[in-house]
Amino acid sequence: MDSSKVIAICFLLLIAIIVLRIIRKHFKVITMPNVFLITGAIKTGKTLLSVHLARKEYRKALLRWYVRKFFRTLLHKDVEEKPMLYSNIHLARTKYNILSLDIILCKVRIPPKSIVLLDEASLLADSMMFKDKYINERLMQFVKLFAHYSHGGKLIIDTQSLSDLHFSFKRCLNNYIYIYSRTKLPFITIMKVREMLWSDDNSMINVSNEDIELSMRKVIIFNGSYKLYDCYCYSSFTDFLPMKVVYDRDKKSVKDDLKCYKLVSFHNFAQEINDAMKEHYGVTEEV
């Protein structure tokens, strides 16, 4: 081989190694346990990352299912149930089921390898719900044994404040992702994230003396994920209420199918919200 070609190949390999080292140092590939938590400040992209990961994990689960189905069909064996995606918020361009309290209370089951997305988990049950023994026991059972009930599925949770999360979630976590900031660029969004460790005494154990930004890693998401959900979906709780300021021109009403018309929660106020949704929007329990 010509020496110039050898030099060129070695140079390209060197460039590739340098690029991979830079990517490994500054960018993070998120690996998820069966119960996975995302937290961060308001509007840092918690739901965006949750939806992105939920769809990614669901596509992987479907691919594995189709492969198993192919070989089991060849061997004339029974095919297991198809995994499903469950979410408490509405999604676009995705086949999914709405998450219900019956699933969380273990009154019904989900197919093996299914993915469950629980947005704003403290709305379901916050840190003050420990006074209800029944909810504590059922929620603890669902979260702690989720990997068993789902035969290896994924439960993806996001919330604004970890301290406000119900203890049944926190007791099943030993690490989570904290989103520090989000930058939207043409075609992609870059998030600065940090993997945090959670101890049994309800405290973070990887506190560093250096600037927090120095320990951040980057995650890249294509901007198409913004179209998969409504980032203001809970505005449906107040969209129909009268405005305090009356403008000269009438407000145009636009129905958005990605709005959240039913709040899944153990809190008493959820029933009042759901009743208001049903009365104003004429929605049913299946919405």
pLDDT value at residue 247: 55
Grouping H, G, I as helix, E, B as strand and the rest as coil, residue 165 is strand
**Distance between CA atoms of residues 108 and 99, nearest Å:** 11
| pLDDT(249) > 60 | no
Q: What is the pLDDT of residues 226-238, one digit of tens each?
A: 999 999 999 998 8
**Positions of E strands within the chain:** 35-40, 85-87, 97-98, 115-118, 154-159, 175-184, 188-197, 217-222
Q: Long-range contacts made by residues 205-213, C-beta under 8 angstroms, separation at least 24?
A: 212/180, 213/180
**Distance between CA atoms of residues 121 and 148, nearest Å:** 21
More confident residue, 152 or 130: 152
**Distance between CA atoms of residues 105 and 120, nearest Å:** 18
DSSP string, 23-54: HHHHB------SEEEEEESTTSSHHHHHHHHH
Within 8 A by CB and 6+ apart from 118, the residues are: 88, 99, 124, 155, 156, 157, 158
- Report DSSP state, residue 198: B
What's the residue count for the chain? Answer: 287
Q: What is the pLDDT of residues 199-221, one digit of tens each?
A: 655 555 555 566 666 678 899 99
Domain ranges of the chain: 27-229
Handedness of CA 145, 147, 148, 153 (dihedral sign): positive
The share of the chain scoring above pLDDT 90, in percent, equals 51
Q: What is the pLDDT of residues 23-77, one digit of tens each?
A: 666 777 888 899 999 999 888 999 999 999 999 999 999 999 999 999 999 999 9
Query: Residue 270 is which amino acid?
Result: A
**Distance between CA atoms of residues 93 and 52, nearest Å:** 12
Contact (CB, 8 A) for 216 and 180: yes
Helices (H), 161-267: 167-170
The share of the chain scoring above pLDDT 70, in percent, equals 86
Q: What pTM was computed for the model?
A: 0.82
- Look at domain 27-229 and name its CATH class: alpha beta
SS (H, E, C) 120-150: CHHHHCEHHHHHCHHHHHHHHHHHHCHHHHC
Confidence of residue 265 (pLDDT cuts 50, 70, 90): confident
Mean pLDDT computed over 263-283: 83
As given in the structure block, the two tokens for residue 280 are: 């104003």
SS (H, E, C) 65-111: HHHHHHHHHHCCCCCCCCCCEEECCCCCCCCCEECCHHHHCCCCCCC
The tokens 């149930």 sit on which residue? 81
**Distance between CA atoms of residues 238 and 206, nearest Å:** 40
- Backbone dihedral angles phi then psi of residue 4, each to the nearest 5 degrees: -65, -35
